């Protein structure tokens, strides 16, 4: 098993694209990259801790290779937005691929380059490719949020602008 970590706005919206894929053995919402140890959601929400909201995926690369994870990741975000995603505007909502090893780093760079060359976007691709750091799982009520609170999740997804991003750039 390997780990893959992605930031792309609110972590609630980043779970569902990956969860039913073959070879995916777990997805945990959490925080990465900040200066506070064991941050709480309330701390991260201020935008002052430096953490990103992320999903960390445990996967079997022989069944679902990292390249396929990247193919699923890009259509979930606006890769031209350096300050958040949709209506989620603080620094914790910035998009980034957080690599765990050199192979992931090189594959992420290649996938970003391929997206840049595709001509799909009029603006530069600004999604970061950064080394993974300490991962802090989010509080339990954030895990599988879309299942625990399906109606509020649907409303939040619309309010966040996630559906608009996908429609605008990826449909």
Q: Is 10 a catalytic residue?
A: yes
Residues 88, 162: Cα–Cα separation, whole Å? 9
Count of domains for the chain:
1
What integer pLDDT is reported at residue 171 of this predicted model? 79
Residue ranges, the chain, pLDDT below 50? none
CATH code, domain with 96: 3.30.1060.10
User: Which runs of E-coded beta strand occur in 15-146?
Assistant: 24-32, 52-59, 96-99, 128-131, 135-137
pLDDT at position 52 is 98
How deeply is 126 buried, as exposed, middle or buried, from its count of CB atoms within 10 A (0-12, 13-18, 19+)? middle
The pLDDT assigned to 51 comes to 97
Which pLDDT does position 119 carry in this prediction? Answer: 92
Domain that holds residue 8: 2-170
pLDDT the model gives residue 159: 87
The predicted pLDDT at position 157 comes to 86
CB burial of residue 48 (10 Å; 0-12, 13-18, 19+): middle
Query: Among the options 10, 55, 97, 108, which is catalytic?
Result: 10
What is the CB neighbour count within 10 angstroms for residue 131?
11
Instruction: Please give the model's pTM, rounded to 2 decimal places.
Output: 0.95
Evaluate whether 137 touches 29 at the Cβ level (below 8 Å): yes
pLDDT at 162: 87
pLDDT of residue 160: 86
Per-residue confidence (pLDDT) for residue 161, from 0 to 100 = 87
Task: Identify the pLDDT of residue 59.
Answer: 98
Specify the DSSP element, H or E, that contains 3.
strand 2-7
pLDDT of residue 68: 98
**What integer pLDDT is reported at residue 150 of this predicted model?**
92
């Amino acid at each position: 098993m390997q780990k893959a970590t992605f930031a792309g706005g609110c972590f609630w919206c980043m779970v569902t694209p990956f969860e039913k894929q073959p070879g995916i053995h777990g997805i945990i919402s959490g925080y990465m990259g900040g200066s506070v140890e064991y941050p709480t959601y309330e701390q991260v929400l201020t935008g002052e801790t430096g953490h990103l909201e992320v999903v960390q995926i445990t996967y079997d690369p022989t069944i679902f290779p990292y390249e396929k994870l990247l193919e699923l990741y890009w259509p979930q975000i606006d890769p031209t937005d350096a300050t958040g995603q949709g209506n989620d505007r603080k620094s914790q909502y910035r998009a980034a691929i957080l690599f765990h090893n050199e192979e992931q780093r090189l594959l992420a760079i290649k996938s970003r380059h391929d997206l840049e060359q595709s001509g799909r976007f009029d603006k530069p691709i600004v999604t970061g490719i950064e080394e993974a750091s300490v991962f802090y799982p989010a509080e339990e009520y954030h895990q599988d949020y879309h299942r625990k609170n399906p109606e509020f999740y649907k409303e939040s997804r619309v309010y966040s602008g996630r559906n608009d991003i996908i429609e605008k750039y990826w449909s």
